[in-house]
Amino acid sequence: MGFSLLDFRRKWSCRGYMSAGAAMVTAALGLSLVLPERAEARKYAAPLDIFGLGTPRPRPTVHSAKIPLPRPRPEEAPKASDEPAPDAEGKPAPDKSNASKPAEAALPPEKQASACRLALTEEIAVAPSVPDIRGPGACGGEDLVRLEAIVLPDKRRVAVKPAAILRCTMASAIADWVRKDMVPLAANLGSAISDLDNFDSFECRGRNRVAGALLSEHGKANALDVRAIKLANGQSIGFTDRTMSRDIRERVLHSVCARFSTVLGPGSDWYHEDHIHLDLAQRRNDYRICQWNVWDPLPQVAPLLPAERPEEAPPREVAARPEAKEGAEDQETARPTAPADKPAAEGAKVEPHKPATKKRR
């Protein structure tokens, strides 16, 4: 069998090996050019890479910095305490227990006491404070007290029966009136005051309890109705009692009209015939109302029958009835007349004619 170069090229061609080698050389040259460009491109983000899916940026070089450390604590220094130091102004540190409580559990701030509340001490009256009242409409009030008793200068107490719910200013005015005006009045009667009869104090209502009327001062806890004061000896001084001395009732009238802006009693209207109304209503130009008629005392024994007619009194002339006159005339006509010429018997006494009288039963 003959072998020649032409037959060798025909059977085993080298074009495939030559083309593959050329491709490998071309690829190697391309990689050598592309790799530096891609390394340079890693420093910058792709313009359309909005989700950051591209090649991450290289971290910048961290430069080590020297951080100074604190100096060691000297041995003679005092030990540090766990309690917080007070403020510069000297205020104490807040309590940790209170800080841990929630804000809802904190108590509301206490209401500041008024000047009247500070002045109405236990030496003047037993009048504990009560919460403010907010009733329907304008009923109620602020700075209220429950007046239970009035303390006299000699430490004795005048009980208010029942206890009255009043504003502090009204309770203070009642206490001053009893201490300065009623105590001397009771002393003149030889006794001391024991009770004050409270007829009405706070009540959410209109004037005189009339439907639709203006709000009464009782609805504002600014009024008190009193009927009497009782003494230690058992005597009662009724302000509208007509059996009491007029002088005593007039003294009470002058004292209350000088202290209160409104005084209503007998004669003002028929609503106040059995008690006295006192209040401190504020009016324009400090206008005051004092309507109380002190009636004269009633007689001790009422005259039921007229006095007996004295015996020496002259007889009363009473007109005769028409029937009696006619009967008398008939009797006179039927009676025979004595002869005129017949003289009267000697020694006979002639009585004058008396008119007919009616005896009293």
Tokens of 238: 């009724």
Tokens of 163: 């206890």
β-strand 133-134 against 140-141: which pairing, if any? antiparallel
Give residue 39's pLDDT. Answer: 54
**CA 281, CA 316: separation in Å to the nearest integer?**
63
**CA 303, CA 306: separation in Å to the nearest integer?**
7
Per-residue model confidence as pLDDT tens digits over 239-275: 999 888 899 999 999 999 999 999 999 988 888 999 9
**CA 87, CA 75: separation in Å to the nearest integer?**
27
Total residue count of the chain as it appears in this document = 361
**Region label for 285, one of left (φ > 0), alpha (ψ between -120 and 50) or beta (otherwise):** left
CB contact at 8 A, 237 and 243: no
Residue 291 has pLDDT above 50, yes or no: yes
Mean pLDDT confidence for 142-170: 95
For residue 172, give the H/E element and its range.
helix 168-177
- CA-wise closest residue to 170 among 240, 215, 239, 217: 217
Backbone φ, ψ for residue 103 (5° rounding): -65, -25
Backbone φ, ψ for residue 54 (5° rounding): -75, -170
For the ranges 96-105, 107-116, 123-132, the lowest mean pLDDT is seen at 96-105
